[in-house]
Amino acid sequence: MHEYSIVQSLLESCEEHAKANNATKVTKVVVKIGILSGVEPDLLQTAFDTFKEKTICDECEFIINKQKIVIECQDCKEESTLKKNEFTCPKCDSSNIRILDGEDMYLMSLEMN
């Protein structure tokens, strides 16, 4: 499960940001996970809850926002959010698309004291 290594890296990043901002606690962590990222949100939540103990994030709230797939059609230039994993343009039905969002995981924000 690579979610454990992701959480370790996330906690290290929280620690660095807290130190850089003279904070003693992280109270909220918000991440965005694309549905094509390969990261399982439930496993990530479990890993975060497990590893946050005795860290600067010990009592923080962990919020996961799931990002749908956003595409741009290379034929009609329409930008769309896919409702299903059907990789065609909803406007013109072309499969000549470029994925704009939904493949990555991002740390969106931290709240610190």
Answer yes or no: is 17 a known binding residue. Answer: no
The SS3 of residue 7 is helix
Answer yes or no: is 14 a known binding residue. Answer: no
Answer yes or no: is 2 a known binding residue. Answer: yes
Give the whole-angstrom CA distance, residue 63 versus residue 10. Answer: 13
Count Cβ atoms within 10 A of the Cβ of residue 98 and give its class: 0-12 exposed, 13-18 middle, 19 or more buried.
Answer: exposed
Distances (CA, A) of 103 to 20, 33, 35, 57, 70: 29, 8, 7, 26, 9
Name the binding residues. Answer: 2, 73, 76, 89, 92
Name the binding residues for Ni(2+). Answer: 2
Name the binding residues for Zn(2+). Answer: 73, 76, 89, 92
